[in-house]
Amino acid sequence: MIPATGESIPVIGMGTSGSFEVDAAGREPLQEVLRRFVAGGASVIDTSPNYGNAEDVLGDLMAELGVRDRIWLATKLAADDRAAGEAQFAQSLKRLRTDKVELLAVHNLRDWKTQLAYARELKARGKTRYVGLTHYVDSKHAELADIMAAEKPDFIQINYSVSTINAEKRLLPLARDTGVAVMINRAFDDGRLFERVAGKALPGWAAEAGVTSWAQLFLRFVISHPAVTVVIPATGKPDRQSDNLKAGRGRDLSAAERAELVAMFA
Ligand SMILES: NC(=O)c1ccc[n+]([C@@H]2O[C@H](COP(=O)([O-])OP(=O)(O)OC[C@H]3O[C@@H](n4cnc5c(N)ncnc54)[C@H](OP(=O)(O)O)[C@@H]3O)[C@@H](O)[C@H]2O)c1
């Protein structure tokens, strides 16, 4: 649930960094990735103008499948001044083949004062429903927390996973206390977590929690935190998309299960 409005969104979304930066031949599996996503009842997709051609690919595939109205679309401002932000957002709308987005976030706090003010103007004009701030490394959490406390954006997007739990210290409790929705990137630590579990069995309690893969377990860990609104794992592979979507069905992990996972990946 998004505190600013009470709107509900599905907890499993998807990212497009890398996975949607493809040439013509690479688009075919992505159409199936998107088809399964929508068929599974998911909707939140995160992209950015600086993810190569990802906005173009996503815009084309949404149009081909006729699903734009079923997608809760998030993109970003990654610019260094007002004029560049304006030009970039106009271009994003064209590339995404839409006239508005659901979330517009300032990428990695870049020129954040100017870009957040511009995003708020766009919100007032109905061009985005929410505004946000993003980052993806622990070393920027303190700065992001200070800005979040002062500015109270609708959303933050941050990194959080079984192996990177720094967000639990201040950002996640603060977001919860101040009513800021939280989108999680890098739930698989950019894929590195899979190397660490190669050949390893799931914990004994996983089946009872409705979890049948490590990907589902990593995602369930993230969405079990009470401050987390949505997680955006990225994949270009249809079967992995189906796997990731399954993480959204089942109970939250207990405190003891969460602690066991953290200890395993410390
Ligand atoms: N500053 C920012 O705003 C920021 C920074 C980082 C990320 N993000 C957003 O967050 C999204 C997610 O982060 P991320 O892409 O960096 O990393 P991630 O989601 O933690 O990991 C992606 C990696 O996991 C693999 N993977 C996905 N599902 C899998 C599964 N079920 N089984 C095995 N492997 C799987 C993918 O490989 P395959 O593609 O081969 O399946 C890819 O290599 C990004 O796409 C982007 O939208 C935003």
DSSP secondary structure string for all residues of 132-159: EEE---GGGHHHHHHHHHHH--SEEEEE
Which residue from 19, 75, 188 has its CB within 8 A of the most atoms of ligand 1, so it is best to mutate? 188
Q: Which atom of ligand 1 lies at the shortest distance from residue 48's CA?
A: 47
- Whole-number Å distance, alpha carbon 15 to ligand 1 midpoint, is 6
Strands (E), the chain: 14-15, 44-46, 72-77, 101-106, 128-134, 155-159, 181-185, 230-231
pTM of the model: 0.98
Average pLDDT score over the chain: 98
Q: What is the pLDDT of residue 22?
A: 97
Tell me: the pLDDT tens digits for 197-216? 999 999 999 999 999 999 99
Q: What is the dihedral of CA 116, 118, 124, 128, to 10 degrees?
A: -70
Mean pLDDT value across residues 26-30: 95
Question: Could you tell me if 134 and 157 are in contact, meaning their C-beta atoms sit under 8 angstroms apart?
Answer: yes
**Nearest residue by C-alpha to atom 13 in ligand 1:** 186
Q: Please report the domains of the chain, with CATH numbers, ordered by start residue.
A: 14-264 (3.20.20.100)
Question: Could you tell me if 97 and 59 are in contact, meaning their C-beta atoms sit under 8 angstroms apart?
Answer: yes
Mean pLDDT value across residues 9-34: 97
Q: Which atom of ligand 1 lies at the shortest distance from residue 108's CA?
A: 1
Q: What is the pLDDT of residue 148?
A: 98
